[in-house]
Amino acid sequence: MTETKTSENRPSETHTGVIGRPIDRIDGPLKVTGGATYAYENALEGAAYGYILGAAVAKGRIAEIDTAEAERAPAVLLVMTHRNAPAQPDFGPAVTPTVPEVFTRARPALNSERVRYYDEPVALVVAETFEAARAAAGFIKVRYDEEPGLYDLPGHMADAYAPKRTNAGFETDSMIGDFESAFAAAPVKIDATYRTPFEHHNPMEPHATLAAWSGNELTIHTSAQTLANFRAGIASTLRIPPERVRIVSPFIGGGFGSKLIAHSDTILAALAAQVLQRPVKIALTRQQMFANAGHRAEMIQQVRFGADADGRLTGIAHDVWSAASSFEEYCEQTAVFARSLYVAPNRVTRHRLVPLDINRGEWMRSPGEAPGMLAFECAMDELADRLGLDPIELRIRNEPAQDPERGVPFSTRNLVACMKEGARRFGWERRNPTPGRTREGRKLIGYGMAAAIRPNYIGAATAQVAVDRDARVTARLDMTDIGTGSYTILTQIAADSLGLPISSIKVELGDSRFPRTAGSGGSWGAASAGSALHNACNALKQRILKAAQSSEASPLHGASATEASFANSEVRIGQRSAGLADLIRRIAPDGFEAEGSVAAGATTESYKAYSQHSYGAHFAEVAVDCDTGEIRMRRMLAVMGAGRILNAKTARSQIIGGMTWGIGAALMEQTVLDRRYGHFVNHDLAEYHVPINGDVPEMEVVFLEEHDDKANPLGAKGLGELGVCGAGAAVANAVYNATGVRVREFPITLDKVLPALPVIAI
């Protein structure tokens, strides 16, 4: 059930238009009928198929690679190794000088005999069929000079270092006041160390590319979240100007942050297509995705709270040690949200990396908050428990009046309202504050809650919009729809702005020939691309109005426009109106075109003047089998304050998807890195568990009415990742409430609660 609640504190313009309506996904019918063509499904005359062979060791060098038998195998066209791959730039230093270069740097493949991580590509076989390529890959013999590697985060904490910045360019550390003294003096203390495992995103559609050259122009059909980054990354790897690379990615079967940079499928397809002078297709296998398409790194987090007897925080410390790659730095901003969440005079957050011989971590849905809030919001629950205070009351007592570290006001912050509304709806008062005491039959029942916070990012974006003589509108942007609903909300924004029906709007995405956006990532897609399109529509309307007033042929000629509007397919100026199609036919038979843009959030005055986040509160009820320790969800509720909701249905889908990720992170997701060999042991979806339908309970999502006029012209804020933030902690806190067992090592599998469960008489 989705509801929009009108809250008292919300003076807001009325939106009678189509924005916010829960319309179905525009691309839905195409997807369910197979009409949406994904990268690997594109058929091109003469396309050949590549198969990647990965390294059998995690560190060392290739001493010998014998490809003769593979080359002789039937239908094989090319076997590429570091010995014959086209020259590429070196990978370069582990840290790029600026944040954007992380996304655009060259990412060479097969250009060295060094093996940097397990399953790193060591050869590519291209053949007439996929099967022939895969069979031939099995004939390649590789001898490695293996070197001992480091794979053990807890074992190598002594190697930890402070990176220059975290992901997204945040300060590595923050320090206000004197935490250590405040902590030492605090009457109530929590000092809890939490561990979160490696995790993988593994979208349904694997990383896949079809590359085709035409002369010196390269077209890449791939599955990418941000086209401009892919384009730049490929261009620098191939050492050609970006203008000669076209990226096409209209449909994406999930990304979750794993498709923000080009991976080996893309680079190798482009190289092989160049060598063979024919189109080449490559997809990573599901197993290969684990080592080659990013992960969330293993982390150790120490959270310390000092509080007075009333639960007012005197000190907050969040220290994070994260596994990292030795060759490319990536520091998830795990403690950054803690700088904005609760008030306390003394505070410290720190990020440290432990370099290991593994591939780099990547952006995995809700980077920072996803692992960070698991630790931090569970530690808050520990504090509430220690104080004998209700967890919501504890949070209310520590609600800041302004951003506690930046010292600027919040643009909007409805955290307390979300918690209160959630408590009311969830029946929070039924929670037994004493853990392990509520039993139904042989199930222990528990309630848990946690706060949600996620920064609002805006990326620079431009949109182009054109209207033709039939008042049909085409909007073009290089934005992507990774399954989130971009096509749909952009259609709604244009329809709303231009006063036209949904059916008159065609949104075209996923082509690097279209104006550049920030793509989909960091929950910024809707707000960034949407604001650009909103501005483009405004520019288009200005153009139409101007022509309508000035053109002799216009039925609105000479109308003096103090008040003009576009609604019901009509243009109205003052008392006079005309049908939009009729008007355009008379004054501009070729139609009109316009562009609109937004600047990157971090550069805007409003971003500097306000702390901008989306907020929410998660609630969870679990049942724990007292005989086996099996933990199953019973219900979940999220109450969100995330700015203006552009489409109630797609927004809800994003939130329930995020809540499902919360269940996964709390209870089952974990990739095991073998600390002897450096490989991910459970590298398929039979052994890497994500929640299946049976694990997902009834979920309720409520959006508080909000309009954040500081955030952007739409008043919307990012929410694609908000559903994850804190959701896992609510589940974990419910497990504690049910069992009295505080598991600080995620995921909370049954073996971790079992020893503490009482044997209940039969």
Residue 121 binds other proteins, judged by CB under 8 A:
no
Sketch the per residue contact string, 62 through 101, with other proteins: x for CB under 8 A, - otherwise.
------------x---------------------------
Closest CA to 586 of 609, 556, 615: 556
Closest CA to 667 of 733, 573, 737, 760: 733
Residue 687 binds other proteins, judged by CB under 8 A:
yes
How many angstroms separate the CA atoms of 434 and 439, rounded?
12
User: What one-character-per-residue DSSP string does 503-553 give?
Assistant: GGEEEE-SBTTSPP---S-TT-HHHHHHHHHHHHHHHHHHHHHHHHHH-TT
The owner of tokens 């806190």 is 733
Query: What are 598's strand-pairing partners?
Result: 461
In the bound complex, what is the minimum distance in angstroms from residue 353's beta carbon to other proteins?
A: 24
> Which position among 18, 19, 57, 268 is part of the footprint of other proteins (CB under 8 A)?
57
718 by DSSP, 3-state: which?
coil
How many angstroms separate the CA atoms of 601 and 716, rounded?
13
Q: CB-wise, 133 or 336, nearer to other proteins? A: 133
Site size with other proteins, rule: CB under 8 A: 41
Q: CB-wise, 267 or 732, nearer to other proteins? A: 732
Active-site residue 721, yes or no?
A: yes
316: left (phi over 0), alpha (psi -120 to 50) or beta: beta
373 by DSSP, 3-state: which?
helix
Q: CB-wise, 30 or 750, nearer to other proteins? A: 750
In the bound complex, what is the minimum distance in angstroms from residue 409's beta carbon to other proteins?
A: 44
Residue 364 binds other proteins, judged by CB under 8 A:
no
In the bound complex, what is the minimum distance in angstroms from residue 672's beta carbon to other proteins?
A: 5
Q: CB-wise, 401 or 761, nearer to other proteins? A: 761
Enumerate long-range contacts of 230-235, CB under 8 Å, 24 or more apart.
Answer: 230/261, 230/262, 230/266, 230/512, 231/512, 232/103, 232/104, 233/103, 233/104, 233/105, 233/106, 233/107, 233/261, 233/262, 234/262, 234/266, 234/267, 234/270
Decide if 360 contacts 198 (C-beta within 8 A).
Answer: no
How many angstroms separate the CA atoms of 41 and 252, rounded?
12
> Which position among 630, 705, 709, 745 is part of the footprint of other proteins (CB under 8 A)?
630
Stretch that binds other proteins, among 2-10, 348-356, 482-490, 749-757 (CB under 8 A): 749-757
In the bound complex, what is the minimum distance in angstroms from residue 71's beta carbon to other proteins?
A: 16
Q: CB-wise, 502 or 750, nearer to other proteins? A: 750
Q: What is the spatial order of strands in the sheet that 299-307 belongs to?
A: 173-176, 346-356, 313-325, 299-307, 188-196
Residue 761 binds other proteins, judged by CB under 8 A:
yes
Closest CA to 633 of 598, 607, 595, 668: 668
How many angstroms separate the CA atoms of 352 and 374, rounded?
18
Q: How many CA atoms lie within 13 A of 289 on its CB side?
A: 21
> Which position among 677, 705, 709, 713 is part of the footprint of other proteins (CB under 8 A)?
677
> Which position among 691, 715, 718, 728 is part of the footprint of other proteins (CB under 8 A)?
691
Q: CB-wise, 648 or 690, nearer to other proteins? A: 690
Q: CB-wise, 441 or 589, nearer to other proteins? A: 441
Task: Provide the b/e sequence for 21-39 (b: ≥16 CB within 10 Å).
Answer: bebebbbeeeeeeeebebb
Q: CB-wise, 569 or 749, nearer to other proteins? A: 749
Stretch that binds other proteins, among 19-27, 97-105, 303-311, 691-699 (CB under 8 A): 691-699
In the bound complex, what is the minimum distance in angstroms from residue 107's beta carbon to other proteins?
A: 24
In the bound complex, what is the minimum distance in angstroms from residue 636's beta carbon to other proteins?
A: 15
Q: CB-wise, 74 or 169, nearer to other proteins? A: 74
In the bound complex, what is the minimum distance in angstroms from residue 193's beta carbon to other proteins?
A: 21
Token representation of residue 441: 């039959």
How many angstroms separate the CA atoms of 556 and 586, rounded?
11
Residue 751 binds other proteins, judged by CB under 8 A:
yes
In the bound complex, what is the minimum distance in angstroms from residue 276's beta carbon to other proteins?
A: 22
Cα angle 517-519-521, degrees, rounded to a multiple of 5:
140
Sketch the per residue contact string, 694 through 733, with other proteins: x for CB under 8 A, - otherwise.
xx--------------------------------------
Residue 552 binds other proteins, judged by CB under 8 A:
no
How many angstroms separate the CA atoms of 210 and 18, rounded?
37
Query: What are 215's strand-pairing partners?
Result: none
Stretch that binds other proteins, among 6-14, 88-96, 97-105, 672-680 (CB under 8 A): 672-680
Q: CB-wise, 401 or 686, nearer to other proteins? A: 686
How many angstroms separate the CA atoms of 566 and 18, rounded?
13
Q: CB-wise, 453 or 667, nearer to other proteins? A: 667
How many angstroms separate the CA atoms of 269 and 288, rounded?
16
DSSP 27: T
Closest CA to 528 of 512, 543, 515: 515
In the bound complex, what is the minimum distance in angstroms from residue 342's beta carbon to other proteins?
A: 33
Sketch the per residue contact string, 122 through 161, with other proteins: x for CB under 8 A, - otherwise.
---------x--xx--x-----------------------
Sketch the per residue contact string, 598 through 627, with other proteins: x for CB under 8 A, - otherwise.
-----------------------------x
Catalytic position from the list 405, 605, 721, 745: 721
In the bound complex, what is the minimum distance in angstroms from residue 629's beta carbon to other proteins?
A: 7
Stretch that binds other proteins, among 96-104, 200-208, 654-662, 744-752 (CB under 8 A): 744-752
Stretch that binds other proteins, among 262-270, 420-428, 444-452, 748-756 (CB under 8 A): 748-756
Query: What are 121's strand-pairing partners?
Result: 54
Q: CB-wise, 213 or 677, nearer to other proteins? A: 677
> Which position among 4, 302, 597, 682 is part of the footprint of other proteins (CB under 8 A)?
682
Residues in 432-471 at the binding interface with other proteins, rule: CB under 8 A: 442
How many angstroms separate the CA atoms of 331 and 325, rounded?
10
Cα angle 509-513-518, degrees, rounded to a multiple of 5:
60
Residue type, 615: Y
In the bound complex, what is the minimum distance in angstroms from residue 74's beta carbon to other proteins?
A: 8
Query: What are 450's strand-pairing partners?
Result: 618
In the bound complex, what is the minimum distance in angstroms from residue 328's beta carbon to other proteins?
A: 23
How many angstroms separate the CA atoms of 172 and 164, rounded?
6
In the bound complex, what is the minimum distance in angstroms from residue 749's beta carbon to other proteins?
A: 6
Q: CB-wise, 29 or 758, nearer to other proteins? A: 758
How many angstroms separate the CA atoms of 65 and 141, rounded?
6
How many angstroms separate the CA atoms of 349 and 172, rounded?
8
> Which position among 470, 628, 698, 758 is part of the footprint of other proteins (CB under 8 A)?
628
Stretch that binds other proteins, among 59-67, 425-433, 574-582, 670-678 (CB under 8 A): 670-678
Residues in 267-296 at the binding interface with other proteins, rule: CB under 8 A: 287
Binding residues for other proteins, rule: CB under 8 A, are 56-57, 74, 131, 134-135, 138, 287, 442, 627-630, 632, 667-668, 672, 674, 676-677, 679, 681-684, 686-687, 689, 691-695, 749-751, 754-755, 759, 761-762
Residues annotated as part of the active site: 721
